[in-house]
Homo-oligomer: A and B are copies of this chain.
Amino acid sequence: MTAPTSAGSAATRAPIEYAEAPAEVRAVYDDIMNTRGTDWVNNYWKVLAHDPPTLRRMWAAARQVMGPGALDPLTKELIYIAVSVTNACRYCIASHSAAARNKGMTAEQFSELVAIIGLANETNRHAVALDLTVDEQFR
């Protein structure tokens, strides 16, 4: 059991390690490690573990959305990084850059990714500032 904690305090946001985790949390940790073929779980899941229903729901969502499908696994990580950079989420950039490296991202691909993210953020603002009408051909 997790000890009673003060909402939103450092305690509520401390990672729950496997050794101290209740069975329902360990079950999710086990599935994360099995799916990934690793022997550790990252802080996102260990902090979310203070709320087991959300932990279970988010892991099921991540497994469904980021798993095998019509887009290849590396492309999925690059899309994830593009969102995380645009939102300035430092943790998310670090974790998904590591995932992308594990899936084969090269230094050249990383450089192109950063350049595209930058350019898209630039032209997005041009389009808004100039109040562009969507071309008939794009509809």
Residues of A with Cβ closer than 8 Å to B?
Answer: 4-10, 12-13, 15, 40, 42-44, 47-48, 50-51, 53-54, 57-58, 60-62, 64-66, 69-71, 75-76, 78-95, 97-98, 100-101, 105-135, 137-139
Contacts and interface: CB of A to CB of B under 8 A. Distances in A.
A128 B89 contact: yes
Contact of A101 (B6, B81, B101, B129): B6
Q: How many identical subunits does the complex contain?
A: 6
A-B pairs, 8 with minimum CB distance: A7-B110, A122-B122, A8-B97, A83-B120, A70-B108, A51-B111, A89-B124, A118-B122
A71 B64 contact: no
A92 B120 contact: yes
Contact of A110 (B12, B78, B94, B134): B12
Contacts of A120: 79-80, 83-84, 92
B94 A134 contact: yes
A100 B42 CA distance: 28
